[in-house]
Structure 1
Protein backbone atom coordinates (compact mmCIF):
# COMPACT_ATOMS: atom_id res chain seq x y z
CA UNK A 1 0.00 0.00 0.00
CA UNK A 2 1.09 3.54 -0.74
CA UNK A 3 -0.05 6.69 0.92
CA UNK A 4 -0.03 10.02 -0.92
CA UNK A 5 -0.36 13.30 0.91
CA UNK A 6 -1.06 16.52 -1.02
CA UNK A 7 -2.15 20.08 -0.46
CA UNK A 8 -4.71 21.43 -2.93
CA UNK A 9 -5.05 25.16 -3.48
CA UNK A 10 -7.77 26.99 -5.32
CA UNK A 11 -7.10 30.12 -7.37
CA UNK A 12 -10.09 32.26 -8.24
CA UNK A 13 -8.31 33.81 -11.21
CA UNK A 14 -5.13 32.92 -13.00
CA UNK A 15 -2.53 35.56 -13.77
CA UNK A 16 -2.85 36.74 -17.37
CA UNK A 17 -0.53 35.12 -19.86
CA UNK A 18 0.49 37.21 -22.84
CA UNK A 19 -0.63 35.15 -25.83
CA UNK A 20 0.70 37.64 -28.36
CA UNK A 21 4.36 37.34 -27.41
CA UNK A 22 7.43 35.57 -28.79
CA UNK A 23 10.13 34.10 -26.54
CA UNK A 24 13.83 34.93 -26.99
CA UNK A 25 16.42 33.17 -24.80
CA UNK A 26 19.10 35.88 -25.18
CA UNK A 27 16.84 38.55 -23.67
CA UNK A 28 15.68 36.04 -21.07
CA UNK A 29 19.24 35.60 -19.80
CA UNK A 30 19.61 39.41 -19.60
CA UNK A 31 16.27 39.81 -17.76
CA UNK A 32 14.87 42.00 -20.54
CA UNK A 33 11.66 42.31 -22.50
CA UNK A 34 11.39 43.74 -26.01
CA UNK A 35 8.50 45.96 -27.06
CA UNK A 36 8.04 46.49 -30.79
CA UNK A 37 6.06 49.65 -31.55
CA UNK A 38 4.94 50.48 -35.08
CA UNK A 39 2.54 52.69 -37.02
CA UNK A 40 1.60 52.10 -40.65
CA UNK A 41 -1.81 53.59 -41.25
CA UNK A 42 -2.12 56.98 -42.98
CA UNK A 43 -4.98 58.25 -40.79
CA UNK A 44 -3.58 61.25 -38.95
CA UNK A 45 -0.37 61.13 -40.99
CA UNK A 46 0.59 64.66 -39.97
CA UNK A 47 -0.02 63.97 -36.28
CA UNK A 48 2.57 62.30 -34.08
CA UNK A 49 2.46 61.67 -30.34
CA UNK A 50 4.72 60.57 -27.49
CA UNK A 51 4.53 56.96 -26.34
CA UNK A 52 5.21 56.52 -22.64
CA UNK A 53 5.96 53.53 -20.44
CA UNK A 54 4.67 54.30 -16.96
CA UNK A 55 5.71 57.98 -16.71
CA UNK A 56 8.74 58.01 -19.03
CA UNK A 57 8.63 59.04 -22.69
CA UNK A 58 10.31 56.25 -24.68
CA UNK A 59 9.63 57.31 -28.27
CA UNK A 60 7.46 59.36 -30.60
CA UNK A 61 4.93 57.57 -32.85
CA UNK A 62 4.97 58.81 -36.45
CA UNK A 63 3.49 57.58 -39.71
CA UNK A 64 5.36 54.67 -41.41
CA UNK A 65 7.51 54.09 -38.35
CA UNK A 66 8.72 51.09 -36.37
CA UNK A 67 10.93 50.95 -33.29
CA UNK A 68 12.17 48.30 -30.88
CA UNK A 69 12.46 49.16 -27.17
CA UNK A 70 14.47 46.86 -24.89
CA UNK A 71 13.61 47.30 -21.20
CA UNK A 72 14.08 45.35 -17.98
CA UNK A 73 11.26 42.85 -17.38
CA UNK A 74 9.81 44.44 -14.26
CA UNK A 75 6.30 43.02 -14.16
CA UNK A 76 3.27 45.20 -14.86
CA UNK A 77 3.77 48.34 -16.93
CA UNK A 78 1.38 50.82 -18.49
CA UNK A 79 2.08 51.88 -22.06
CA UNK A 80 0.15 55.01 -22.94
CA UNK A 81 -0.18 57.95 -25.29
CA UNK A 82 -2.37 61.03 -25.34
CA UNK A 83 -3.49 63.86 -27.58
CA UNK A 84 -7.00 65.05 -26.76
CA UNK A 85 -7.69 61.66 -25.21
CA UNK A 86 -5.56 59.01 -23.49
CA UNK A 87 -5.09 55.45 -24.75
CA UNK A 88 -3.34 52.87 -22.60
CA UNK A 89 -2.38 49.22 -22.44
CA UNK A 90 -1.35 47.26 -19.36
CA UNK A 91 1.23 44.55 -19.92
CA UNK A 92 2.84 42.10 -17.55
CA UNK A 93 6.39 41.96 -18.87
CA UNK A 94 8.16 38.64 -18.63
CA UNK A 95 11.88 38.24 -19.30
CA UNK A 96 12.71 37.07 -22.79
CA UNK A 97 9.40 37.94 -24.44
CA UNK A 98 8.76 40.22 -27.43
CA UNK A 99 5.51 42.23 -27.42
CA UNK A 100 4.10 43.83 -30.58
CA UNK A 101 2.03 46.99 -30.27
CA UNK A 102 0.39 48.80 -33.18
CA UNK A 103 0.12 52.56 -32.67
CA UNK A 104 -2.66 54.16 -34.64
CA UNK A 105 -5.14 57.00 -34.70
CA UNK A 106 -8.89 57.26 -34.21
CA UNK A 107 -11.07 60.20 -35.16
CA UNK A 108 -11.42 62.82 -32.44
CA UNK A 109 -13.30 66.08 -31.95
CA UNK A 110 -10.45 68.52 -32.62
CA UNK A 111 -7.44 66.25 -33.04
CA UNK A 112 -7.00 62.54 -33.72
CA UNK A 113 -6.95 60.22 -30.72
CA UNK A 114 -4.17 57.68 -30.22
CA UNK A 115 -4.97 54.00 -30.47
CA UNK A 116 -2.73 51.27 -29.02
CA UNK A 117 -3.36 47.58 -29.59
CA UNK A 118 -1.49 44.33 -29.04
CA UNK A 119 -0.99 42.50 -32.31
CA UNK A 120 -0.29 38.87 -33.18
CA UNK A 121 3.47 38.50 -33.92
CA UNK A 122 3.03 37.15 -37.46
CA UNK A 123 0.74 40.05 -38.42
CA UNK A 124 3.01 42.60 -36.75
CA UNK A 125 6.14 41.27 -38.45
CA UNK A 126 4.45 41.55 -41.87
CA UNK A 127 3.39 45.14 -41.16
CA UNK A 128 6.84 46.09 -39.85
CA UNK A 129 8.45 44.57 -42.96
CA UNK A 130 6.08 46.59 -45.18
CA UNK A 131 7.01 49.76 -43.27
CA UNK A 132 10.72 49.06 -43.71
CA UNK A 133 10.26 48.46 -47.46
CA UNK A 134 8.41 51.75 -48.00
CA UNK A 135 10.63 53.85 -45.72
CA UNK A 136 12.95 56.18 -47.64
CA UNK A 137 16.62 55.20 -47.67
CA UNK A 138 18.61 57.84 -45.71
CA UNK A 139 21.55 57.42 -48.11
CA UNK A 140 19.47 58.39 -51.18
CA UNK A 141 17.61 61.36 -49.70
CA UNK A 142 18.78 64.81 -50.90
Structure 2
Protein backbone atom coordinates (compact mmCIF):
# COMPACT_ATOMS: atom_id res chain seq x y z
CA UNK A 1 0.00 0.00 0.00
CA UNK A 2 1.34 3.41 -0.98
CA UNK A 3 0.46 6.44 1.12
CA UNK A 4 -0.01 9.53 -1.03
CA UNK A 5 1.22 11.79 1.77
CA UNK A 6 4.64 10.17 1.28
CA UNK A 7 4.65 10.85 -2.47
CA UNK A 8 4.52 13.84 -4.74
CA UNK A 9 1.40 14.36 -6.85
CA UNK A 10 3.50 13.51 -9.91
CA UNK A 11 4.50 10.13 -8.43
CA UNK A 12 0.90 9.27 -7.60
CA UNK A 13 -0.28 10.40 -11.03
CA UNK A 14 2.45 8.36 -12.76
CA UNK A 15 1.35 5.27 -10.83
CA UNK A 16 -2.26 5.83 -11.93
CA UNK A 17 -1.14 6.23 -15.57
CA UNK A 18 0.80 2.95 -15.35
CA UNK A 19 -2.22 1.18 -13.86
CA UNK A 20 -4.41 2.56 -16.66
CA UNK A 21 -1.98 1.52 -19.40
CA UNK A 22 -1.56 -1.98 -17.96
CA UNK A 23 -5.29 -2.29 -17.17
CA UNK A 24 -4.62 -3.16 -13.54
CA UNK A 25 -7.29 -2.41 -10.93
CA UNK A 26 -6.44 -0.08 -8.05
CA UNK A 27 -7.77 -0.21 -4.50
CA UNK A 28 -7.95 3.30 -3.04
CA UNK A 29 -8.66 4.80 0.34
CA UNK A 30 -10.66 7.86 -0.65
CA UNK A 31 -12.03 10.87 1.22
CA UNK A 32 -15.46 11.83 -0.16
CA UNK A 33 -16.56 15.46 -0.50
CA UNK A 34 -18.52 15.14 2.78
CA UNK A 35 -15.34 14.05 4.61
CA UNK A 36 -16.15 10.36 5.01
CA UNK A 37 -13.51 7.78 4.18
CA UNK A 38 -14.27 4.92 1.80
CA UNK A 39 -12.34 1.98 0.41
CA UNK A 40 -12.94 1.25 -3.29
CA UNK A 41 -11.43 -0.98 -5.94
CA UNK A 42 -11.58 0.83 -9.25
CA UNK A 43 -10.71 0.13 -12.86
CA UNK A 44 -9.37 3.29 -14.46
CA UNK A 45 -10.83 4.42 -17.76
CA UNK A 46 -9.46 7.94 -18.13
CA UNK A 47 -7.44 10.62 -16.38
CA UNK A 48 -8.49 14.23 -16.94
CA UNK A 49 -7.92 17.73 -15.63
CA UNK A 50 -10.90 19.91 -14.76
CA UNK A 51 -11.23 23.58 -15.66
CA UNK A 52 -10.46 24.32 -12.00
CA UNK A 53 -7.14 22.45 -12.34
CA UNK A 54 -8.07 19.33 -10.35
CA UNK A 55 -6.84 15.98 -11.65
CA UNK A 56 -9.70 13.50 -11.81
CA UNK A 57 -9.79 9.78 -12.41
CA UNK A 58 -12.74 8.33 -14.34
CA UNK A 59 -13.07 4.74 -13.24
CA UNK A 60 -15.47 1.85 -12.99
CA UNK A 61 -16.23 1.10 -9.35
CA UNK A 62 -16.08 -2.69 -8.86
CA UNK A 63 -18.60 -2.52 -6.02
CA UNK A 64 -21.35 -0.86 -8.07
CA UNK A 65 -20.13 -1.46 -11.62
CA UNK A 66 -20.79 2.21 -12.41
CA UNK A 67 -18.45 4.81 -13.86
CA UNK A 68 -17.38 7.26 -11.13
CA UNK A 69 -15.12 10.27 -10.80
CA UNK A 70 -12.41 10.45 -8.14
CA UNK A 71 -10.19 13.46 -7.44
CA UNK A 72 -6.52 12.55 -7.22
CA UNK A 73 -5.93 14.87 -4.25
CA UNK A 74 -8.56 13.00 -2.19
CA UNK A 75 -6.83 9.62 -2.51
CA UNK A 76 -5.12 8.87 0.80
CA UNK A 77 -3.58 5.50 -0.09
CA UNK A 78 -3.63 3.04 -2.97
CA UNK A 79 -2.61 -0.44 -4.01
CA UNK A 80 -2.19 -1.43 -7.64
CA UNK A 81 -3.15 -5.04 -8.30
CA UNK A 82 -1.64 -7.35 -10.89
CA UNK A 83 -4.95 -8.81 -11.99
CA UNK A 84 -6.96 -7.77 -15.05
CA UNK A 85 -10.07 -5.60 -15.33
CA UNK A 86 -13.40 -7.35 -14.80
CA UNK A 87 -15.94 -4.51 -15.19
CA UNK A 88 -17.03 -3.66 -18.74
CA UNK A 89 -16.11 -0.01 -19.33
CA UNK A 90 -18.46 2.15 -21.40
CA UNK A 91 -17.75 2.79 -25.07
CA UNK A 92 -15.60 5.94 -25.34
CA UNK A 93 -16.70 6.77 -28.88
CA UNK A 94 -20.39 7.08 -28.01
CA UNK A 95 -21.90 10.46 -28.94
CA UNK A 96 -22.73 12.89 -26.16
CA UNK A 97 -26.36 13.47 -25.30
CA UNK A 98 -27.87 16.68 -26.61
CA UNK A 99 -28.87 19.58 -24.37
CA UNK A 100 -32.46 19.12 -23.12
CA UNK A 101 -35.08 20.89 -25.24
CA UNK A 102 -36.96 22.07 -22.17
CA UNK A 103 -35.51 24.51 -19.67
CA UNK A 104 -37.37 23.16 -16.65
CA UNK A 105 -35.22 22.87 -13.51
CA UNK A 106 -35.73 19.09 -13.40
CA UNK A 107 -34.52 18.68 -17.00
CA UNK A 108 -31.45 20.81 -16.37
CA UNK A 109 -30.60 18.90 -13.16
CA UNK A 110 -31.02 15.56 -14.97
CA UNK A 111 -28.80 16.81 -17.79
CA UNK A 112 -26.07 17.97 -15.40
CA UNK A 113 -26.15 14.72 -13.43
CA UNK A 114 -25.81 12.77 -16.67
CA UNK A 115 -22.72 14.73 -17.74
CA UNK A 116 -20.42 12.40 -15.81
CA UNK A 117 -21.50 9.52 -18.00
CA UNK A 118 -20.70 11.30 -21.26
CA UNK A 119 -17.32 10.84 -22.90
CA UNK A 120 -15.02 13.78 -23.44
CA UNK A 121 -15.91 15.72 -26.58
CA UNK A 122 -12.38 16.68 -27.46
CA UNK A 123 -9.18 14.73 -27.42
CA UNK A 124 -5.77 16.19 -26.85
CA UNK A 125 -3.33 15.67 -29.67
CA UNK A 126 0.42 16.11 -29.39
CA UNK A 127 1.78 19.40 -30.65
CA UNK A 128 3.65 19.15 -33.94
TM-score range, shorter chain: under 0.3
Q: Which has the larger radius of gyration?
A: 1
If each structure's strand is expressed as a fraction of its own residues, which one has the higher value? Answer: 1
What TM-score comes out, normalization by structure 2 length? 0.24
Instruction: Compute the TM-score of the two structures, normalised by the length of structure 1.
Output: 0.23
Higher helix share: 2
